[in-house]
Structure 1
Amino acid sequence: MTIRAVVFDFGGVLFDWSPQHLYRKLIADEAERQWFLDNICTQAWNTEQDAGRTLAEATRTLIDLHPDHEPLIQAYYERWHEMLRGELADGVAILKALHKVDMPLFGLTNWSAETFPYARAHYPFLQLFRNIVVSGELELIKPDPAIYHASLDQIRADLPDIKPREVVFIDDVAGNTEAAIALGWQGIHHVSAERTAARLRALGVAFNVPTFP
């Protein structure tokens, strides 16, 4: 088997992103904070922005539903960058190791088109990617097969004759890797950097595996 391109998910693989990082500062009580994130500013609500809904519409709609929580809702996107605590060093180490051996690298992320420019501006390792497919820009979202087709189209702009089986996709959400596998890609469910590196080597990717702490 020959792997000719590696596609990375971002959150949970390369980025430490969580609403908890912000809301620990805003809601001291853990149970109260978890209730707010489970019932008001939910992951399902955030996913709608990853799929293309504007931040302004999302915020306005949610405040209309929950006016008593307006300041906390408003903070979600006004202080969104505080949810992005930084890079995940182990995942980025794999990325850089693959880049050193000239493996073509691509990104496929569920991310709002309005917040992704912050990541581009503040994380230089994103320059290692030949192309990044951002769900909010396409108004498509994993695990919809259409976004994988869009990603493969972008890969083929660099590697015109590449076949799906020659692409490996790394994501921390099992359903997203399963969707890629269903389309003929190789898939790695990212649980730890060590396991992901070992799986890449098992797929025949020759690179110097980083030493993880």
Structure 2
Amino acid sequence: MINAVIFDIGNVLIEWQPEKYFDRVLGKAKRREMFDEVDIHGMMVRIDQGNVFADVVEDTAWAHSKWRQEVLKFRWKWTEIAQPEIPESVKLLRALKAKGMPVFALSNFGKENFPLSEAQYPFLTEFDRRYISGEMKMIKPDAEIYEAVEADCGLDPKTLFFTDDREDNIAAAAARGWQTHRFETPEGLARRLVEEGLLTQEDIA
């Protein structure tokens, strides 16, 4: 039995591939050089943990004078970097809601940059519950964030269905008894939702 479907956001509902943006503005060779020299992943983890978006980006930029202007784009060009939406996944989200299935978000996302994406993509307001790491000051795949979700929603962990693109996040949820699906494509998620009896072929057509 499934009582709620929980979506990750990055690379499930919104594409998160900053390399693509910088490939366009820098070219692939310079982008590779930048990403080799600047710990972009580490910067984003600090933001997702609840540190102030602007402060983390600016601290990182000033620590890398060669790439200062490029790093600052994460602050000033956020909505151009964290895009586009994945429309087939959004359709699944809305189809589940139309069926009366509670739909939650559980995402590593900064407290200040999440509202920027929310304004860009109104479907991010449609969740029944949202668990945003930067607001909670907890981050996947740490067990405490999954525990906090369980405590807040009050549902049996075995009745939670969670989809995420990262194996470590999926494994942490599965360890708590959640039902899980490693997201690779919207079509794969759609098939799984049909298999679970949550949607029909007509719903996903």
Give distance in 2, aligned partners of 1:12 and 1:92: 12
Residues 25 and 192 of structure 1: CA distance in aligned 2, closer, same or farther (over 3 Å): closer
1:6-155, aligned counterparts within 5 Å? Answer: 6-28=5-27, 30-155=28-153
Residues 14 and 63 of structure 1: CA distance in aligned 2, closer, same or farther (over 3 Å): closer
* 3-state SS of 1:201 partner: helix
> Given the alignment, which residue of 176, 179, 183 partners 2:176?
183
Give distance in 2, aligned partners of 1:102 and 1:122: 25
> Which residue is equivalent to 1:169?
162
Q: What is the aligned-residue identity percentage?
A: 31
> Which residue is equivalent to 2:194?
201
Residues 76-121 of structure 1: per-residue CA shift (max 9 Å, x gap): 2111111122210111111111111110010001111110011222
Kept after mapping to 1: 8 A contact 2:34/2:67: no
Question: TM-score if structure 1 supplies the norm length?
Answer: 0.88
> Which residue is equivalent to 1:159?
none
Residues 51 and 6 of structure 1: CA distance in aligned 2, closer, same or farther (over 3 Å): same
The CA deviation at 1:187 is: 0.6
Give distance in 2, aligned partners of 1:23 and 1:89: 23
User: Where does the alignment leave 5 or more consecutive residues of structure 2 unmatched?
Assistant: none
Kept after mapping to 1: 8 A contact 2:48/2:111: yes
User: Where does the alignment leave 5 or more consecutive residues of structure 1 unmatched?
Assistant: 157-161
Give distance in 1, aligned partners of 2:2 and 2:84: 29
- Shift >3 Å, 4+ stretches: 206-209
> Which residue is equivalent to 2:4?
5
The CA deviation at 1:137 is: 0.8
2:201 paired with 1:210: no
Aligned pairs, number:
204
The aligned amino acid for 1:9 is D
Give distance in 2, aligned partners of 1:94 and 1:59: 33
The CA deviation at 1:152 is: 1.9
* 3-state SS of 1:170 partner: strand
* 3-state SS of 1:17 partner: coil
The CA deviation at 1:21 is: 4.0
The CA deviation at 1:38 is: 3.3
2:185 paired with 1:192: yes
Kept after mapping to 2: 8 A contact 1:16/1:86: yes
Residues 206 and 62 of structure 1: CA distance in aligned 2, closer, same or farther (over 3 Å): closer
* 3-state SS of 2:15 partner: strand
Question: TM-score if structure 2 supplies the norm length?
Answer: 0.91
